[in-house]
Homo-oligomer: A and B are copies of this chain.
Amino acid sequence: MSNTFGTFFRITTWGESHGPAIGCVVDGCPSGLKLSAEDIQRELDRRRPGTSDVVTQRKEADKAEILSGIHEGRTIGTPISLLIRNNDADSSKYEEIKNLLRPGQAEYTWREKYGTIDWRGGGRASARETATRVAGGAIAIKLLRTRGIEIIAYSKEIAGIVADTPSRNGSLEKMRKTIESNPVRSPDTQAAKEMEHAILTAKKEKDSVGGIIEATVYGVPPGLGEPLSDKLNADLAKALMSIPGVKGIEIGAGFELARMRGSEANDPFTINNERIHTTTNNAGGILGGISNGMPIILRLAIKPTATIGILQKTVDYAKKKETDIAVSGRHDPCIVPRAVPVAEAMIALVLADHSLMSGYIPRKLI
């Protein structure tokens, strides 16, 4: 439920932004998977704050400790508990605005729902919780890799600047390298520079920008997905929509399909090397809720960071009166680059779940 993602491969996350720690419990991972703290750290480091000018300057080592579920270097089928201590929380900035509703943020709705919140740094509603998704997702990524499934996401668009989509037939390793070579995680190095500039400009103006992440999943076999209610596209949409700031999801040609004719939109079937596939991929790898063996293609729209330094109109929740707010402190002027590994993690969680559900990945690897 509420803080648990997945049915078969599932993570239960916990923790507040300025509490002592955050973490998650990964349950349902098959036994026999080689797993080390490094596997998790590699992904966490990609999402870590403070690594460039375009992201928040909060300093968190984000070291994940594995507390259970591993024996002699391999998973044993029991829950894997991951713990990340919060080290650089600075709640002082939040004390004075603790009753003010930050526009675009969750304080209002959470207060209405729970009657209370941990107002320090966004509490549980802070995007800091996504670190635990990345940690848990790293295990899913490793698991999927045993069957050759690979996920690559990147910034497709930031502040209106659109990156060229890289070829899906090239080397994945090379594509990953290019994406990681720039602070905005774009596969188009020229666009990357413009994106970086746009972010820094917004930052200087105490404002923020949004963007679009595109993700491709390679190596998915036909047959994953549970119609009707747990269609693969439906579960992906849910998982991605649960990422803070995501306001739109597309699969394949997405909204463009609404403007096409059927004769143009349909992907013709063909046979290649004795395997059935389609000559185009407008469907984005999913038909009738089930994977068709083509790459799965997804896009998610991310709104500009809500927390900005510009003065905004708002309300004091305690006094129930109108007021102004300008939030100083360390915020991401654009969360898109750091959301890239989060998107990959969520996609990995869904695919690991469906791979286990369908029996494509067995429950013991030894």
Contacts and interface: CB of A to CB of B under 8 A. Distances in A.
Interface of A: 1-5, 7-8, 10, 12-16, 19-23, 25, 27-28, 31-32, 65, 67-69, 71, 74, 76-81, 83, 101, 103-106, 108-110, 112-118, 123-125, 129, 157, 159-160, 202, 207-212, 222-231, 233-242, 244, 247-255, 257-271, 274, 276, 278-279, 282-284, 286-293, 301-308, 310, 312-315, 317, 320-322, 358-359, 362-366
B108 A292 contact: yes
Contact of A288 (B110, B157, B268, B313): B110
Contacts of A69: 14, 16
Contacts of A242: 228-229, 231, 233-234, 289
A259 B253 CA distance: 19
B290 A106 contact: yes
As for how many copies of this chain the complex holds, the number is 4
A306 B116 contact: no
A12 B25 contact: yes
Given A81-B23, A113-B290, A302-B258, A123 B210 contact: no
B261 A237 contact: no
Contacts of A76: 114, 116-118, 123-124
Given A1-B27, A71-B118, A257 B291 contact: no
A308 B266 contact: yes
A59 to B, nearest CB: 21
Contacts of A118: 71, 76, 78
A15 B81 contact: yes
Given A104-B283, A248-B255, A209 B14 contact: no
Contacts of A265: 104, 210, 303-304, 306
Given A21-B81, A125-B288, 15 more contacts: A1-B7, A1-B10, A1-B27, A1-B229, A25-B25, A78-B123, A113-B224, A124-B227, A124-B228, A208-B261, A209-B261, A247-B251, A265-B306, A266-B312, A271-B320
